[in-house]
Amino acid sequence: MHIEEIGPDRLPEYAQVSIAFEVRSILRVESLDSGWGRGSGGMTLLEQPVSRPYWKDYDVCDEDGPLTWARDFDLVNWGFFLAVNAGKPVGAAALAHNTPGVWMLERRSDLAVLWDIRIQPWARRAGLGRELFWRAVDWARQRGCRQVKIETQANNVSACHFYAAQGCELGAISRYAYAGHPKVSDEVMLLWYLDL
């Protein structure tokens, strides 16, 4: 297996890697004293099992997977990585940096956003995600970034554990970030940050 940096012309290969994951538990947000209480910003996260596990695939439900990125954004300052095994894509990661119109970048030139990281379900828990993550972090460092920002959701508990294990800190919980998106309106956005 090897990881290579690729250009946006290879996003069709990138898109062959599934982003789907099984939801067995969620991080439930509890407000403390209407958000004014002690804790992380007046909120706490409690992991709880779901009554019926299910699969979540954001490429399908949001309809804005890798094949739409070139249409929606100027990708000149983006980094893309593809992990290949026996000629087949098994993992991928994308970073956005210094791109007008990407609100997640907060108009900062010293911030990169880990836009996407994905591993084929059968190849997970073997260290490939960690390799892709740190390759992406090195890419951001080489561009003078001081932080990497990552968005995930409270239904992706394994991703949250993964980012925490890489040294990322939970910087924000937004209970209503997806309110205008009917297919995901009940989900909670979690923003993680890694200082470089």
Domain 2-20+57-145: assigned CATH number: 3.40.630.30
H or E, element range at 111: strand 111-119
**Distance between CA atoms of 165 and 109, rounded to whole angstroms?**
26
pTM over 0.85? The answer is yes
For residue 79, which of 133, 119, 37 has the smallest C-alpha distance? 133
Q: What does the pLDDT look like over 125-179, one tens digit per residue?
A: 999 999 999 999 999 999 999 999 999 999 999 999 999 999 999 999 999 999 9
For residue 94, the Cα-to-chain-centroid distance in whole angstroms is 9
Lowest mean pLDDT: which of 85-94, 138-147, 175-184? 175-184
For residue 81, which of 136, 128, 130, 26 has the smallest C-alpha distance? 136
